[in-house]
Amino acid sequence: MADSDPAEADSIFIERPTEFVVRDAFSLGAAPLALAGACGLLGWTTAGFVLLGLTVFVACFFRNPPREIPGGENSVVAPADGRVIDVAEVEGSDGNKWLRIGIFLSVFNVHVNRCPLAGRVVAKDRGGRAFLAAFNRKAETENVRCALTLETAAGMRFQVVQITGLIARRIVCHPQVGEWIRRGDRYGLIRFGSRTDVLLPLTAVAKVKARDRVRGGSTIIAEFESTEG
């Protein structure tokens, strides 16, 4: 595995979003901010403060802080901020066994997603129709989701899956098939409560357990043995 040498990639993915506050905050926060101002002019103090608080919440939800990416090319970093709710061996739709690490994002977590390992996008699949609570077992297969399948420079495949939650209604996933994404790069987000899963070959060794708190791009959630030497 390597963070570089994307020989088979069509192009290098341009990391985004990179702004400190994702632009969605301005479009979604404009209405409650305007209403807060109107309430202030009308003397509706309580309503004004509630709407102002909603504006601040939207701005905080779309925060996008920079992160130092730890470890090396064999280190799998968390794709999202949140709480680990699942570390288990599962069978994928292709019949292969995977180590799945599932992360639940509350509305208070950073919702920008990061790539857990460097790789070339070989598939991008959207599916699901439901909006169940992200920690519901049925959400794994029934909720609206977007799965990226990537291949490392060494030919190993893995997946990172964005899954909507009870409140979430939109998944943003920028990479296209053929693009090379670097480990830790920001590549999309999910609005208002969600889940992000990583599916790795069983040669990966989990470094987290259920209920652990992780930070996207900053927490190493699994490791592969070095192939050097």
Contacts of 164 (CB under 8 A, 6+ apart): 128, 131, 134, 143, 144, 145, 170, 171, 190, 194
Q: Round to whole Å and give the CA distance between 163 and 105.
A: 10
CA 180 vs. chain centroid, Å, equals 17
Kindly report the number of other CB atoms within 10 A of residue 125's CB atom: 12
Q: Is 115 exposed, middle or buried (0-12, 13-18, 19+ CB in 10 A)?
A: buried
Distance CA 200, CA 223 (A): 10
Let me know if 93 is a catalytic residue: no
Active-site option among 4, 11, 93, 194: 194
Catalytic residue numbers read 194
